[in-house]
Copies of this chain bind each other. A is one copy, B any other.
Amino acid sequence: MAKRIGTRTLQLDAVVTGSAAVGGKTEAEGPLGSRLDAVYPAADAGEKSWEKAESAMHADALTRAIAKAGCTPQQVELHFGGDLLDQCIGTTFAARPLGIPLAGVYGACSTMALTLALAALAVDAGAAQTAAASTSSHFCAAEKQFRMPLEYGGQRTPTAQWTSTAAGAAVLQKAGRGAHLRALCFGRICDYGVKDAANMGAAMAPAACDTIAAFLRDTNTQPDAYDMILTGDLGAVGSRLLLELAEKEAGLTLAPVHRDCGLLLYDRAAQPKVGAGGSGCGCSAAVVCAEILPKLAAGALGRVLFVGTGALLSGVSSLQNETIPAIAHAVLLEKE
C-alpha cells in the first residue's frame, strides 16, 4: 500500500526484475553503446517508415525486458507505455501483437519515469503481479513531426538537442531480484514562458527543479543522500539552468550528484551533431534501462533519483505561439 509523505511523494515498493534498451547507430557510438541490448544501424530498421521503425524497436525492447525478467508476455498483467509520436503510435503498434492490457500514457520525454511510476503503483497496490513500462523515440520521426522535413537540411541552433533513436522497457514485480523502486513523485506543470522549441532544456529545467525540491523536502533528504540525481534530457543548457535554479529557488547544491541522461548517452565532443545533448523519450529510457537499473541490480550503484523531464508542446501549439509547458516525474531507484 502506497504511503504518502509530505505533500507530493509516495513511498511504496516494487522490484524491477528486468530491463532492456535498444538504440540506433548514433546511440551505439556513444559512451553507453556497449550496454545496449541491440543496435539498429539503419534508420529505418528494415521497416517501411521511421514510425514503423520506432515501433519495431519499441517492441524489441519490451519483448527483451519481459524475457530478461523471466516472464512470458502472457504473464504481464498490465503495460504502461507511451511515446512522442502523434497518438502514441510508437507504443500502440508495438503493443498490438502482445495481447497485454495496455494503459497508454503521455508525458513527452518524461514517459520512462511516468510509466515506471505507474507500473510500480499498480504492482504495489496488487493491481498487477507483473507490470511493464516502456517508451521509445526516433530522431527522424521526431524531426519530421516537430520541426522540419529532414530533406530540408535546416541548421540546428546551439541549444538544440538530438532526439534519441532508442527504446527502453522494464518489468516490475512485487518480489524478485533487481533494483527496487521505493518512492515516486508525480510532476506538475511548470511554464516559465519559454517559446523556443529548439531550447527544450530551458523549458524543462524549472519542472525538474520543482519536482526535485518537492521530493527532497517531502523525504527530508539532501542531495548528498543520493549517488545520482539523474534528469532525463535537460542537455547542457538545461542542466546548467537546473543547477542555478535549484541553488537560487530551493537552496540546493545539486552539482556534485547531478547527471543528465542527455549528456550520458552521447559524447558531445566526439559526436558534435548531438548539439546540447540527447532528448526524446528513448534517451532517458536507454540510459536508465541499459545502464542505471543493471548497475543498481548489481550493487554498483546504491540510490538514484531518476527525474524524467518532458516538454508538453506540440507542433500546433508552437505554431500558435504558445509557450512550452513542462513536467518532471521522479522515481527513487535503489539497489536490493
Interface residues on A, range: 35 or more
- Which of B77, B121, B316 meets A85, CB within 8 Å? B316
Docked complex: A37-59 residues within 8 A CB-CB of B: 48-49, 51-52
**A159 in contact (CB, < 8 A):** no
**Total copies of the chain:** 2
Residues of B within 8 A of A127 (CB): 2, 4, 10, 12, 121, 125
CA distance A145 to B316 in the complex (A): 10
- Which of B10, B78, B125, B129 meets A186, CB within 8 Å? B78
> Is there an interface contact between A126 and B1, defined as CB atoms closer than 8 Å?
yes
Residues of B within 8 A of A88 (CB): 106, 312
**A92 in contact (CB, < 8 A):** yes
Distance between A204 CB and nearest chain B CB, rounded to angstroms:
13
**A96 in contact (CB, < 8 A):** yes
**A226 in contact (CB, < 8 A):** no
Docked complex: A49-101 residues within 8 A CB-CB of B: 49, 51-52, 77-78, 82, 84-89, 92-93, 95-96, 99-101
**A179 in contact (CB, < 8 A):** no
CA distance A101 to B128 in the complex (A): 23
Residues of A within 8 A of B (CB): 1-4, 8, 10, 12, 48-49, 51-52, 77-78, 82, 84-89, 92-93, 95-96, 99-108, 114, 117-118, 121-122, 124-129, 145, 185-189, 191, 312-317, 320, 322, 325, 327, 329
